[in-house]
Chains A and B, each alone.
Chain A
Amino acid sequence: MNGPLLFLPLIPLVPFVGFLLNGLLGRRLPKAVVSTIALVAPLISFLIVLHAVFLVSTGSVALPVIEHGAPTWISVGTLHADFGSVLDPLSLVMLLVVTGVGFLIHVYSVGYMHEEEGYWRYFAYLNLFLFFMTVLVQAGNALLMFVGWEGVGLASYLLIGFWFQKTSAADAGKKAFIVNRIGDFGFLIGLFLLLANFGTLTLNEIVAKLAANPTMTGGVLTAIALCLLVGAIGKSAQLPLYVWLPDAMEGPTPVSALIHAATMVTAGVYMIARTHFIFDRSPFALSVVAIVGAATALFAATIGLVQTDIKRVLAYSTVSQLGYMFLGCGVAAYSAAIFHLMTHAFFKALLFLAAGSVIHALGGEQDMRKMGGLRTKIPVTYWTMTIAVFAISGFPPLAAFFSKDAILYAAFTSGSLGKILWFVGLVTAALTAFYMFRLWYLTFWGESREDAAHPHESPWSMRGPLVILAVLSVCGGWIGAGRFGAFLAPAVGSRTAEAAGSQVEIFLTVLAVVVALLGWLIADRMYRQRPESPAQLAAAMPTGYKLLANKYYVDEIYGFTIVKPLLVISRYLLGWVVDVGILGGLAWLLAGIASLGGAILQRWQSGNLRSYAAWLALGAAVLLYFVLAPHVFEAAGLHLGMAGH
């Protein structure tokens, strides 16, 4: 590497050291030391990233920085993979989000998890997560990216099941892991296809080979793109693999904020943007991405309308917003998608942390029907949450206004399918505004419905991150989609079809704001002015309400069509026939032969030392006889009488 030092390998390694320290010694360390280790590690990573940003902005480092001569990881035949990291605009933005928001959430966790039994375990996992996430983001080849990808899945599993004594939490962890495995399988097949067709997994080598071969489109590239998409769908909780994310809310709330809202679940979007050169060559795969995204956005938003658990509303909202990002990727507006990823990280982390603060204030209550009237009791939480709600609904000049509009505009201008996608996105925007304001009214307005003790504002370690994230949720979008896109263009390319004109853009923007306003007004009418109306509406449309309240029965359908048959096959065919019958039978057969042999041979083992010694001596004598017999008599005859020659 030439030029100033960037310390890129340290970005993942420092949290890893934090993980080792806390994981191995944390049980014996006092809480203050554990928190210090856990906070310093992401802080150092964040400072390294900031240092890199500074160097880039002053022009002393030119992006992209591709690390050459990194330690070799695997070198087998033609496959060569190293630990090299890549710093380009895309990974720089992602690193900023991961380490920055990650650090804030670490700080928040100190307050939130203070009373917990496994305090050290929690922070060890959290640092482990940051390690894998930064590995994923920085990886210069797809295989190393896959390691990070699997690793964040592991960290997610560990943290969802953090309260493993609770069956539901342990189950949710398993569900997340297994559903993600399905996606990872697709990712892995995609990697195999990449290796088979390009002979390398290093990303910039693939780019070079693709550039040298401009006529290569569709076909195998579509297959690779679709396989990678399966992986992204699993990780980013899109249809039809989104089912794990709502259940993942069993984990501690800061975990939901960090892993299941801001960073890990956006890894799918990041991966598509990172491998965009493959998707760009396959229009079919791109449309699949867009359709999956739009469908998920709408689908999850409708479920979010009627959920009563505050974290589940946010979970479905996350799924829905991730759908937006996929939609952006699908119309090849990767920079818009990443822009939304960044702003979403700010306001969704804020929403989760504020929700955590509410839950904290109410002593663990998550049911919004038992909240209400909290706006004067926990003012900091109330105001930050308000900012987040306005931000996610897309009101100017808050963050999502810019990023969501960038995606919707990109969708609108991308051909005939684009209009439909745009319309779906617009409807989703209205629904988003509605359910977010519903949450807001139910939690903070009206009469208090809780029966717990007196609610109390959270400590400063929790309020601080809330305030910082609120500022970011306000200002995060001010960079503007244009400038952001120009910055990202070297890494993800820029769309050329931006010729629809500014009047259309203004019209679309106004329309999106009007729609969001509409969602707000309906929520205001239903939940503030006439609090009895939601129940009446539900009673008027029992089928529709039940369908939504039971989340379209997707879990039940999966349970019936996939989980049940799998269980039956596993238990009866694989369990009884294969395992007990064939494998067990073989094992019993071998054991039978062995014990029969043993029964015969055990006669030999008298337990008497002298008999063992006799057998030993006899054996030695026999051996000696056979080895030495030809020589022994001759030699004895020669030497006994006359030594020497």
Chain B
Amino acid sequence: MNSLHMVQHEVPLGWYLLLSAVLFCLGIVGFLIKRNLITVFMSIELMLNAVNLSFVTFAHQWHQVRGQIFVFFVMMVAAAEAAVGLAIIIAVFRARATLAVDRIDLMKL
């Protein structure tokens, strides 16, 4: 009860969720409109972290540690994804000499 009490006095939970939603939407927008592959990639990371924030918030609210544990999983996957994704980006850059997303359209029929 005490911790909830403290939170209540500092920042309400809803604000955290709102921040998470805002960050997520920023990520989506960045993902959709940016042309540079690295920026697109960073947008994905942004979305992941937005979700992490909401996980932590809910975990706090429901007094359950599961949500926080899950965050570690997400971070781990994100790290692996970053390694693979950056490798792919480097390979793409070597092959095409560009990082513009709309120029990388080999799969087009």
Contact = CB atoms under 8 A, between A and B. Distances in A.
A639 B12 CA distance: 9
A639 B109 contact: no
Contacts of B8: 643-644
Interface string B31-43: 1110000001000
Interface in B45-83: 61
Q: Is the interface of B mostly helix, strand, loop or mixed?
A: helix
Contacts of A606: 105, 108
Given A643-B7, A643-B14, A614 B32 contact: yes
Of the candidates A605, A610, A613, A643, the one having the most CB atoms from chain B within 10 angstroms of its own CB is A643
A607 B32 CA distance: 15
A497 interface: no
A182 to B, nearest CB: 53
A641 interface: yes
A644 B4 contact: yes
B26 interface: no
A617 B32 contact: yes
A639 B108 contact: no
Nearest to B105: A607
Contacts of A641: 12, 14
A395 to B, nearest CB: 84
A609 interface: yes
Contacts of B61: 643
A602 interface: yes
Interface string B69-109: 00000000000000000000000000000000110111111
Nearest to A620: B28
Contacts of B4: 644
Contacts of A610: 32-33, 101-102
A535 interface: no
B13 A607 contact: no
A640 interface: yes
B18 interface: yes
Given A617-B31, A643-B13, A608 B105 contact: yes
B33 to A, nearest CB: 8
Contacts of A614: 32
9 contacts: A605-B107, A607-B106, A607-B107, A607-B109, A608-B105, A609-B101, A617-B32, A643-B8, A643-B13
Interface of A: 602, 605-610, 613-614, 617, 636, 639-644
Q: Which 10 A-B pairs have the closest CB atoms?
A: A607-B108, A607-B105, A643-B13, A639-B14, A643-B12, A640-B14, A607-B107, A609-B101, A608-B105, A617-B28
Given A610-B102, A614-B32, A639-B14, 9 more contacts: A606-B108, A609-B105, A610-B101, A617-B31, A636-B14, A639-B13, A643-B12, A643-B13, A644-B13
